[in-house]
A and B are shown apart, each in its own frame.
Chain A
Amino acid sequence: MDRRDFFVSIAAATLAATLPVTAWAQAIFAPKPGPWRAVDLVTRIEITKPQGPMQAWIPLPSLNEPEWNRPGESTWTSNAATVTRVKDPRYGAEMLHAVWKDGEAAPSLEVTSRIAMRDRAIDLSKPGTAPALGDAESRLNLAGTDLIPVDGIVKQTADKIVANARTDADKARAIYNWVVENTHRNDATRGCRTGDIDSMLRTDNISGKCADLNALYVGLARAAGIPERDVYGLRVLPSQFGYKSLGAGSANVTKAQHCRAEVHLAGFGWAPVDPADVRKVVLEEPPANLAIGDPKVVAARNALFGAWEGNWVAYNVAHDVALPGSKQPKLGFLMYPQAERASLLLDALDPDNFKYTITSKDVAA
């Protein structure tokens, strides 16, 4: 994109963002805090062709946010020699770590987690009294990670995007609009590809799924000096607003992983953001390949800066996660079950051969 295109995009995005919601007619996507919903999430793994040392790590819902995400009890059954609940020391991401004895014929582990969640919506026109971030948490959420560097072209791009924005909220919204306007979801990407955002920008190949697009949003905002974080989780229920692309299609949620983002704004605290889901609506919402001005897209776009639907479970906000007991490099994020056979990591993006299943059962909140 050249300089002219860059600013045309910014102008178009700003115009779209300032049009009243009533201009977008029929489509409704308006999450608001209301009744809680709850699910039992059952993750079952079986290590096929067992061989040598075998261990597994299953992410547990561990982001406790009293207003929208309340993890409950997790129970498990397994023939592992040891099963331990462990916590990432930097971000507090919890996981269940199972280790089987060599020669175990049919290693398996089944975890059931109860979790309650509900819609979020923050009125960004009315600052509240949310406390500021502490220094350590602020540093953590402004820093670069392995996949989300915040210097070089990321910083240069962020500076251009926010050049005319005054407040952090204005800057965050400008970046949100830029990501919505300048990226596309590449559905050929298997799973949520681990997206190095420096590479995305330098090659001008700004595509991918949530772990790419929302990582780009987070990186650009951090580079602009705004605390942001990715929130890794799983869609567990259909959308109550009728958006097929933004909800679980069935009780089998094995491939329903989705990460969202949060921006920390003075007076508001953590606010929900999800530009990747705007692009998902564009690509997938029937009849598919919608125009950016389609009412369904516009409704989602207007909502997903400041709101999201509580049909999704948050696991954690962790980056660069070391799997305890493993010699593998750190994971960019922990959103999928992981396992090793003969000390080799199995392919978490290939659940049918791994193998694992995740099912979601709607229960009374």
Chain B
Amino acid sequence: MGWNPRVLAGRLLGAALLDGATTGCLTIATATRAADAGLLPWDGEAGPAFALDDLAGQRRHLDEFHGKVVLVHFFATWCARCVDEMTSLQKLTVKTRGRTLVVVAIDVAEVELRVRAFFEALPVDFPVLLDRDRAVTKAWDVVSLPTTFVLEAELRSRLVTATDLDWPAPATVARLEALYPPPPPQDRTGKTRGSHGED
């Protein structure tokens, strides 16, 4: 399926309604399963590649995350749901440290000093980029915050959500782990082929 903003928006809104309709009266068992309920499969193309400044002023390109599962997360500091979710994403980052997963947070059109102050109070271990003129937000057809795209290692979009999620929840992590690229092939000695071993 190609990148169709109208289809995406409809699916996201439908998911949000479903999420709101089902999470209020669940048993504990189903609630566990529902942690990832807003995370929808998405087999469309990811939005176009971007290059944005991070909070340190460094230019960051989407391509540099090739080979990892990438959570492209659009947010704003004035959005209460986004604030809660930032903590959740940081917990995910800690939980998956050493794995091939990276969160890339993109702030939508806020004053840079406001964003800096926010992350001084709530430090995170992942890059925070600045979409100062909303160009990337528009290009990715994001209409509500937070919205997160999960890209597989080849930077193709596989999952998407337009609601805040419990990211470190086991069900959610399992969905992300399913996207991890296969480990590099090993030779018969158990060493990774192409590594800089002694032999």
Contacts and interface: CB of A to CB of B under 8 A. Distances in A.
Contact of A345 (B80, B112, B144): B112
A199 B143 contact: yes
Contact of B144 (A189, A193, A203, A344): A203
Interface residues of A, number: 23
Interface in A322-352: 328-330, 341, 344-348, 350
A204 B134 CA distance: 20
Interface in B64-85: 78, 80
A347 B133 CA distance: 16
Given A190-B78, A329-B132, A347-B114, A199 B109 contact: no
Interface in A344-365: 344-348, 350
A82 B113 CA distance: 25
Majority SS of interface residues in chain B?
A: loop
A188 B80 CA distance: 10
A113 interface: no
B153 interface: no
B78 A345 contact: no
A346 B113 contact: yes
Interface in B128-177: 132-134, 143-144
Contacts of B78: 189-190, 193
B13 A203 contact: yes
Nearest to A340: B113
Contacts of B143: 198-199, 202-203
Contacts of B113: 341, 344-347
Given A190-B78, A329-B133, A344 B112 contact: yes
A145 interface: no
Given A347-B113, A347-B114, A348-B111, A328 B132 contact: yes
Contacts of B9: 202
Nearest to A342: B113
A211 to B, nearest CB: 13
B144 A199 contact: yes
A347 B78 CA distance: 13
Interface in A184-224: 188-190, 193-194, 196, 198-199, 202-205
B109 A194 contact: yes
Interface in B49-107: 78, 80
Contacts, number: 37
Majority SS of interface residues in chain A?
A: loop
Interface string A262-293: 00000000000000000000000000000000
A176 to B, nearest CB: 25
Contacts of A190: 78
B150 to A, nearest CB: 21
Interface residues of B, number: 14
B78 to A, nearest CB: 6
A117 B78 CA distance: 35
Nearest to A190: B78
B111 A345 contact: yes
A350 B114 contact: yes
Contacts of A341: 113
A199 B142 CA distance: 8
A137 to B, nearest CB: 27
Nearest to A348: B111
Nearest to A329: B133
> By CB atoms of chain A within 10 A, which of B9, B80, B114, B132 has the most?
B114
A348 B112 CA distance: 12
A330 B9 CA distance: 27
Contacts of A330: 133
A277 B111 CA distance: 27
Contacts of B13: 203-204
Contacts of B114: 347, 350
Interface in A59-118: none
B111 A347 contact: yes
Contacts of B109: 194, 329
Contacts of A329: 109, 132-133
Contacts of A350: 114
A16 to B, nearest CB: 30
Contacts of A194: 109
> By CB atoms of chain A within 10 A, which of B78, B109, B113, B134 has the most?
B113
29 contacts: A146-B134, A188-B80, A189-B78, A190-B78, A193-B78, A194-B109, A196-B134, A198-B143, A199-B143, A199-B144, A202-B9, A202-B143, A202-B144, A203-B13, A203-B143, A203-B144, A205-B144, A328-B132, A329-B109, A329-B132, A329-B133, A330-B133, A344-B111, A344-B112, A345-B113, A346-B111, A347-B111, A347-B113, A348-B111
Interface of A: 146, 188-190, 193-194, 196, 198-199, 202-205, 328-330, 341, 344-348, 350
| Closest 5 A/B residue pairs (Cβ) | A329-B133, A199-B143, A203-B144, A202-B143, A347-B111
Given A199-B143, A203-B144, 10 more contacts: A199-B144, A202-B144, A203-B13, A203-B143, A205-B144, A329-B132, A341-B113, A344-B111, A345-B111, A347-B111
